[in-house]
Amino acid sequence: MPRLAVALVWLYQGLWCKLLGRCPGHRAIVQAVPWLAGGAGTVVLAGLGTIEVGLAVWVLSGWRPRLAALAQTLLLVGMNGGGLLWGREHIADPGAMITQNLAFLTLAWLVAGRTAERGNTDATPWSRGRLDGRSGPPQLLFGRMHEDWRIEAAAFHPGSRIFCIASSGDTALALARSGFHVTAVDVNPAQIEYARARAAGARPGPGVVDRQQAMARRLLPWLGLRTRDLREFLLLSVPGEQMAFWHRRLDNLRLRLLLRIGLHKALLRLAHDRSFVSFVPPRFDLVILSRLERTWANHPNRENPYVWRLLLGEDPPAIEAEPAGGGNPGVEFLCADAAEYLASGPPCRFDGFTLSNILDAAPPAYGERLLAAVRHAAAPGAVLVLRSFGEPRDGQAAEWAARDRSPLWGSIEVNTAEHLHTRD
Ligand SMILES: C[S@@+](CC[C@H](N)C(=O)[O-])C[C@H]1O[C@@H](n2cnc3c(N)ncnc32)[C@H](O)[C@@H]1O
């Protein structure tokens, strides 16, 4: 939007004022230049108008944005300087002209900076620490993780050195309490601060995503999913009974309609940056429904913390959801980009990597860089776990996803570092 605003200003100045001759002041100022009186002034006016229209197109294209901002600055300084020098009497309020143009140039440079950052195809959108794509300080996005740490515990060699994406710290802390040596990294400083506090004993609190889920849960009674029924459902522990209960009492038309609307990409885009919506599979509503059913069919609800948190926003009663241990289990939490951190350190220093689903929203060039960094940091035989919301590449990734007690994942790739490949 700001980019469009800058382009529109140039289009108005170039096309309307100069090429179509609708602003007589422009012509008067140009023709006030000593050697531009008469026909020469008309030609220069048309030339300037064409350059300004060209600038509008350039700004819109997003190509070399900082060079475009420099060109705008030079043109504006040149035109204003010339106007003040020779056409002073045609400028009603020079002070207003200068301050307005300064404000405009500030906007043009801000737009250039933002466009350059977006166009940097080697960077991940997670580095902004926000899901909404707006500028502002990084936010705490995740107060709890929706990733079943038992997948990692099964995939990694006991007691080995693990590189972990920190997020809210759940996986890192659970693995450390299970005897792994964990280094947990997150590009978002708000997540690292939060994860460190949790390692020191703080209770979990809500992040942006947790608040969104809490809002969605408030709608459930309106859809016929009463808290009492949900609790009864979650207390079941026989998959066959869970499936029957789900189909008989919970899976209804209103729920399906709400999922259809609420998970539509157009609606998701209202609150999320494009990159976070781009990887969502088509008909995400049906995809999520089938992943929910997969979870009811495979895992006893009663002791599944992920479905309790998802549907009721609370932990299962009297169930030990995570390994015992207590106290600070000694995870090293660091604020860094995963690819940069792994590439810049010594080789062969980790036996396992758990990368959450960080490649889901990242551009392919970032994926290549990250996997090269993983190969560099991987000890022989190191194992990598990579989740995705997307559909699985093969049966094995689908099987691992089905083993995860959290119903969200479409694919979990568990591979040795030597066999890594990016998702296309
Ligand atoms: C990928 S998100 C997904 C949430 C996750 N599935 C969960 O259940 O918490 C998890 C975390 O990864 C972090 N992250 C994303 N890309 C990263 C990167 N390249 N380097 C380090 N951290 C990253 C985000 O800041 C976020 O806190």
Q: What is the CATH number of the domain that holds 339?
A: 3.40.50.150
> In terms of domains, do 237 and 296 share one?
yes
- Asked if residue 112 is part of any domain, the answer here is yes
Q: Which residues contact 411 (CB under 8 A, 6 or more apart)?
A: 387, 388, 390, 391, 392, 393, 397, 398, 400, 401
Report the residue among 139, 334, 358 best suited for mutation to probe ligand 1: largest number of ligand atoms under 8 A from its CB: 358
Which residue CA neighbors atom 7 of ligand 1 most closely? 145
Q: Give the pLDDT band of residue 399 (cuts 50, 70, 90).
A: very high
Of 263, 282, 312, the residue at which a domain comes to its end is 312
> In terms of domains, do 194 and 329 share one?
yes
> In terms of domains, do 115 and 6 share one?
yes
> In terms of domains, do 105 and 175 share one?
no
Tens-digit pLDDT profile for residues 250-267: 999 999 999 999 999 888
Residue 360 Cα to ligand 1 midpoint, Å, equals 10
Residue 119 Cα to ligand 1 midpoint, Å, equals 21
Calculate ∠ Cα 415-304-390, nearest 5°: 40
Residue 291 Cα to ligand 1 midpoint, Å, equals 21
- Asked if residue 78 is part of any domain, the answer here is yes
Atom of ligand 1 nearest to the CA of 360: 1
The length of the chain in residues reads 424
- Asked if residue 320 is part of any domain, the answer here is no
User: How many angstroms separate the CA atoms of 188 and 114, rounded?
Assistant: 19
Residue 337 Cα to ligand 1 midpoint, Å, equals 10
User: How many angstroms separate the CA atoms of 261 and 277, rounded?
Assistant: 14
- Asked if residue 134 is part of any domain, the answer here is no
Evaluate whether 236 touches 242 at the Cβ level (below 8 Å). Answer: yes
Tell me the H-state helices in 186-283.
189-199, 208-219, 227-234, 239-245, 253-262, 265-271, 274-278
- Asked if residue 137 is part of any domain, the answer here is no
- Asked if residue 338 is part of any domain, the answer here is yes
Of 312, 341, 369, the residue at which a domain comes to its end is 312
| Total domains in the fold of the chain | 3
Q: What's the pTM value of the predicted model, to 2 decimals? A: 0.73
- 3-state class (DSSP) for residue 96: helix
> In terms of domains, do 409 and 391 share one?
yes
User: How many angstroms separate the CA atoms of 272 and 277, rounded?
Assistant: 7
> In terms of domains, do 222 and 200 share one?
no
Residue 347 Cα to ligand 1 midpoint, Å, equals 23
Atom of ligand 1 nearest to the CA of 387: 6
Q: What's the confidence (pLDDT) of residue 323?
A: 57
Phi and psi torsions of 204, nearest 5°: -65, 145
Evaluate whether 45 touches 32 at the Cβ level (below 8 Å). Answer: no
Atom of ligand 1 nearest to the CA of 341: 20
Q: What's the confidence (pLDDT) of residue 36?
A: 81
> In terms of domains, do 292 and 344 share one?
no
> In terms of domains, do 256 and 189 share one?
no
> In terms of domains, do 195 and 218 share one?
no
Share of the chain above pLDDT 70, in %: 95
CA atoms within 13 A on the CB side of 351: 12
> Minimal CA–CA distance to 127: which of 2, 276, 265?
276
Q: What is the mean pLDDT of residues 342-364?
A: 96
- Asked if residue 143 is part of any domain, the answer here is no
> In terms of domains, do 189 and 215 share one?
no
Residue 164 Cα to ligand 1 midpoint, Å, equals 10
> In terms of domains, do 99 and 6 share one?
yes
Q: What's the confidence (pLDDT) of residue 329?
A: 74
User: How many angstroms separate the CA atoms of 182 and 149, rounded?
Assistant: 13
The neighbouring-strand residues paired with 184 are 164, 333
Instruction: Please state, in angstroms and as integers, the Cα–Cα distance from residue 263 to each residue in 147, 224, 286, following that order.
Output: 20, 19, 10
- Asked if residue 99 is part of any domain, the answer here is yes
Which range of residues forms the domain containing residue 385?
149-205+325-419
Ligand 1 pocket list (CB less than 6 A): 124, 126, 141-142, 145-147, 165, 167-168, 185-188, 191, 337-338, 356-358
Q: 193: buried, middle or exposed (CB in 10 Å: 19+, 13-18, 0-12)?
A: middle
Share of the chain above pLDDT 90, in %: 67
> Minimal CA–CA distance to 152: which of 168, 136, 176?
176
User: How many angstroms separate the CA atoms of 278 and 316, rounded?
Assistant: 33
